[in-house]
Amino acid sequence: MSNHPSAAKRNRQRITRTTRNRSVRSSVRTVVKQARAAIAAGDGQAALHVKKAISLLAAAASKGILHKKAAARTTSRIQAALSKLA
């Protein structure tokens, strides 16, 4: 339990922010996993999955949910795997 009103407010903000970030991070992981699975299967729709994953990674990085370099690294690896497929 916090001893100051400002500390209590920061705790409330932390809980709200964590919940919001968790849902975004989870959706990014899901989409990246789908893209990797589509690439591994040689699916014709792999390019669409990759495009969606890259878009969500960039959005999460711009909001500060993911580190910018982590998002860039994941994007690069997915694109490299897709280009090997083609």
Q: What is the pLDDT of residues 4-47, one digit of tens each?
A: 999 999 999 999 999 999 999 999 999 999 999 999 999 889 99
16 token code pair? 């709200």
pLDDT given for residue 68 in this prediction: 98
Domains in the chain: boundaries: 5-85
Number of residues that this document lists for the chain: 86
Which CATH superfamily is 5-85 part of? Ribosomal protein S20 (1.20.58.110)
pTM of the model as a whole: 0.86
pLDDT-derived band at 86 (thresholds 50, 70, 90) equals: confident
pLDDT tens string 37-84: 999 999 889 999 999 999 999 999 999 999 999 999 999 999 999 999
What is the DSSP secondary-structure string of 27-66?
Answer: HHHHHHHHHHHHHHHT-TTHHHHHHHHHHHHHHHHHTTSS
